[in-house]
Structure formats: C-alpha cells, structure tokens
Chains A and B, each alone.
Chain A
Amino acid sequence: MKALVAVKRVIDYNVKVRVKADHSAVDLSNTKMSINPFDEIAVEEAVRLKEAGVIEEIIVVSIGPKEAQEQIRSALALGADRGVLVQTDAKPYPLQVAKILKSIAESEGTDIILLGKQAIDDDNNQTGQMLAALMGIGQGTFASEVKVEGDKVNVTREVDGGAQTVALSLPAVITTDLRLNEPRYAKLPNIMKAKKKQLDEKTPADFGVDMTSKQEVTKVEPPAERKAGITVKSVDELVDKLRNEAKVI
C-alpha cells in the first residue's frame, strides 16, 4: 500500500501574527515558517503505519511557493520516502488544492491519504473533505485513532461530545486531530539523508488545475482589542466586581 501525505508551509504556531498596515494580509516577511502542526501529525501517522508494515511507500506533497520544499525535506527527514512540490505563487485555496491532490493520488494509486484537519493560517478545515468528495471515497475526519484491517480502515473521530468510530473502505482520506500521535523529531543523520531523497517539481498546470478561486480575501484586520482589565487584590474584591460592576453573577 502507498500513502500520500499533504503538508502545508505555514507561519510557525508560536509566532505572534501581525496584520500589514494596508490591511491586505498578514505580514509574513522575515517570519519563521514551519510544517503545519496537524500535517506533522499526518506524516508521523504515515511513518508509524510504514513501521507497522501496513504501507510500503510514503509520498509527501506540498503545494505552494518554492520555499515549501523546506517543509517537504522536513517530512522526508521524519521518514517519508519521496516528495512532490507543486510550485505556485497563487494563494492555495482548498478546492484547487484538493483537485491537484486528487490527480496525484489517482496517478500514484495511493490507498491512504493523510492530511491535517486544518491549517493554522486560514483555519479552513476543508481540503481533506473536498478531496474525499472529488475522489468519491470515504473520509475519516478529526482522527484520534487509525486502525487498518485488510481493505478497511477504522477511524476513531473526535466529535462534539465524545468520540465516534467509523469503518471506511480503502482508499480513504484521513484528517488528523491533535491527539492522534506525538510527532517525532528529525535526527541529524536523517536530515542529511533527506537531502538525497527524490523531490519532483511540478506546477498546477501539469495537473490541469487553474488556481484562481471565486473567493477572495478583500481585507484583513487585527481583531478588536479588549479594553485593559484590572488586577483585583482579593477574592472579596473579585466577587464584588463581578456582582456590582460586571453584573454577571
């Protein structure tokens, strides 16, 4: 079996976001960029499935600027076998990304397609579901446990109020939630080896996908600031403020 893992280059999750003065976007110049944390979990799960003998090859794909090859190399250092960079300077919207991934998944014949549940920049939580729809296959979203049994995969999903398990026929799309696993760190020798692994470069046109979206971000603003709070000195003062000033209890 082959696995396809999609990774996105995003602002590092520890970086404090700044909105550009012209309100066109978030300022990403000179900011630390990383693999989207949920995608790192997807890579880890694929590597664990490989270590368990379930899958033989892991292909990692990223769609984005030239620099996204850094994120592919990171995934290769974690244990993926080869990479595909679909280079584009256009903003990658989920529907267009899903169309490219479909094309790759079908031509590679992958049985398990792993994505993070959402990217921490656009917070969309759409690509995996869209990909599953376009391919006409099942989806295991928000996965906290993945068990492959023959030609089926049992996925335990984190849902509002608890957990739900679904059985999907393969091929299937799985999107990872935080508790699926704890990603490993890349070891230095593996980082060196990753530099020699195969990395193909493509463009969206190679897959016949037009990156223009009928959706457009017209303005980006910082969220409304909360007015400065006060420090209370005692529990009594806190109770008094909540009762008489804020009137919430």
Chain B
Amino acid sequence: MAILVYAEHDNASLKKATLNTIAAAKQIGVDVHVLVAGSGNQAVADEAAKAEGVTKVLLADNAVYEHQLAENIALLVADIASDYSHILAPATSTGKGFMPRAAALLDVSMLSEITAVIDPQNFERPIYAGNATATVKTTEEKVMITVRATAFDPVAAEGGSATVETIDNVQEAGKATFVNEEMAKSDRPELTSASIVVSGGRALANGENFTKYIEPLADKLGAAIGASRAAVDAGYVANDMQVGQTGKIVAPDLYIAAGISGAIQHLAGMKDSKVIVAINNDPDSPIASVADYFLEADLFTALPELTSKI
C-alpha cells in the first residue's frame, strides 16, 4: 500500500520540513503520495510534484482548509486514510495538532517525532527530553507518524514528476474558527533549517544586547538566531526563537551558544548539532559538557571580537 505524507506549507510555497518527511517515508516504502491541503494552494502542489520520490500529489483546495485547522484536516486525513498503510506529517505545530486527532478518529495509536526508521513497524524516537532513545514497535494496521525533520536529510526539491490529482473532499467540523494570527517577521534563515544558529541566553541581560551582540554575528555568518527559554521568558526576544524541548528542535552544522548555561530542556533542542560552540564565563556550566569548543570568556567582549574576526 502507498504511504501518505502531509505537506507543510503556507498556501504559497512548500516548507522544507516536507522534504525531510518524504525522505523518512521513502525509508518505509516506495509509493509516496503527498497531500497538499489549503486554499489557493495549486502552486504548492506543483512544487510537491517535483520533489524526488513522490508518485502522486493530492490537492485539496478549499476555503475550509485555508488555515489548516486541526479539526478539518484531521477529518480529511481520516477520510482518505483507507488507501494508505502509513501516514506521515512533519512534527511542526500543524502536524502535532492534527495527527493525533486523525489517529484517534481512526482508533489507532500514534508515534510522535520519530528520528529513525528501522523497518515499517519499528521506529526510534527520543523520550525524556532527548535523554533516552526508545525503539517502538507498532502493530497497528495504519501507522500514524510525525517526523522530526532534523533527523532526516531532505529529498531533492527538483527532479520528480508526479501527477497532481485534485480531490474535492470538503470536511468542515464546525467546532473551530480562525480569528487571526501574528507572525514574527524575519529576513534571516528559518531557525529549524538554518545551517548556522547563533543563540543567546539570560546572560545577554536585555533585548538591546541581543540586537547589539547576537545580530551582527548572525548577519556575518548568515545564521538564524535562537534563544534559551530564560531569554524568551525575560522578554528579550520573541518566543518562536526558543530552542529546546518545548520550543524548536534544531540540528545545524554550527550552533553557537552565548551566555546559555545549558539546562537539559535546552540541550534537548540542539545537542544533535554537528559542531557546538559555547561562549560562557562559567567553565562548569552544563553547556561545556556538550560543546566541541568552549571559550571561557565574557560574551560582551568575546562576541564583538568574534564578529570582527570572521
């Protein structure tokens, strides 16, 4: 049976996490279909059709799917589920919202944030904030999975030639309506897919210091900016920049942690980074135990120096 991947998008373009999820799906089986549900989202479907390894794209274009409310998407996914053995979605806020709901509608259990596919019934996923890895076996007839995007290399965005099939399946639960949204504006690379991330913590002391010390270094490196929960809670930066168990999970090539002590909840969000640099004035801070390069220094002098020397 085929495998269904739910596409993450904003009605205009496909988000990269979808390509990582397709990669996970390809490790399970060969016939991978992608569901693109939204409104005015034909361009997204065309983009998904070009992704490597996709054999068919299902396009559900209707106003009820515009904001991809979990109530409606779960009904849609449950309704078309009979054709699929596995259904995967990226572990984004959309995927985390509707997938368990769809699983319950189908009366099956679900696997959250898998990091490895062993075979079609066995998967790995982190538990206890990434302090342990569980191997989970499922004997459900229909396997519902969210995928931790950073754990899978994305498939190529070009080269595929899947057919796009329009489905006019309209599911409206009528229990929830969209009111509004406020998205943080940023010209920087997206945090979860950036190859370099510069993060600041409580030691930055205020929001102005983020602008003054973290931003110039990030600009020079073409990096995304992250933050610890302490920095977010103190109001230095917006909460969508939080890296950790309860924020974003990142795994860039280079992660620079400045003024972050390294609580286990923070480490859960970044310890799979290829190279970790910590700049901290406390050599006993937990971040030192995961850092490849630890610079014991005052960040207010070290950061400008680093920025000028790169």
Contact = CB atoms under 8 A, between A and B. Distances in A.
Contacts of B265: 13
A246 B109 contact: no
Contact of B70 (A117, A139, A234): A139
A161 B184 CA distance: 6
B122 A218 contact: yes
A173 B225 CA distance: 33
A235 B112 contact: no
Interface in A153-172: 154, 157-169, 172
A166 B132 contact: no
A148 to B, nearest CB: 14
Interface in A10-29: 11, 13, 16-17, 19, 26
Contacts of B92: 160
A231 interface: yes
Contacts of A162: 181-184, 238, 240
Interface size class of B (residues with CB under 8 A): 35 or more
Interface in B176-194: 176-184, 192
A160 B93 contact: yes
A183 interface: no
Given A124-B112, A166-B176, A141 B103 contact: no
B129 interface: yes
Interface stretch (B50-58, B151-159, B201-209, B270-278): B270-278
Label chain A's interface by main secondary structure.
mixed
B127 A166 contact: no
Contacts of B233: 179
Contact of B113 (A123, A220, A248): A123
A123 B295 contact: no
Contacts of A187: none
Interface in A119-145: 120-134, 136-142, 144
B294 A229 contact: yes
Interface residues of A, number: 79
Contacts of A203: none
Nearest to A137: B175
Contact of B134 (A95, A219, A238): A219
A150 interface: no
Interface stretch (B28-36, B80-88, B302-310): B302-310
B136 A216 contact: yes
A17 B132 contact: yes
Interface stretch (B18-26, B38-46, B137-145, B161-169): B137-145
Interface string A194-229: 000000000000000000011111111111001101
A242 B176 contact: no
Contact of B74 (A16, A133, A140, A169): A133
B63 interface: no
Given A219-B134, A230-B294, A235-B297, A95 B128 contact: no
Contact of B293 (A134, A166, A238): A238
Nearest to B303: A235
B295 to A, nearest CB: 5
Contacts of B240: 158, 160-162
B100 interface: yes
Contact of A218 (B136, B246, B275): B136
B79 interface: no
A2 B210 CA distance: 44
Contacts of B96: 125, 129, 141
A93 B109 contact: yes
Given A141-B97, A226-B271, A167 B176 contact: yes
A151 interface: no
Nearest to A141: B97
A139 B101 contact: yes
A235 B277 CA distance: 11
B196 interface: yes
B184 A235 contact: no
B100 A126 contact: yes
A241 interface: yes
Given A120-B128, A140-B176, A160-B240, 5 more contacts: A163-B182, A165-B179, A226-B271, A229-B291, A248-B196
Kindly list the 7 A-B residue pairs having the minimum CB-CB distance in the complex, ordered from nearest: A138-B175, A129-B100, A126-B100, A130-B104, A133-B104, A162-B183, A219-B135
22 contacts: A17-B129, A123-B245, A124-B100, A125-B100, A125-B112, A127-B100, A131-B104, A138-B71, A138-B176, A139-B101, A172-B175, A178-B246, A215-B136, A215-B138, A217-B136, A218-B136, A219-B135, A220-B127, A221-B133, A226-B276, A230-B293, A248-B254
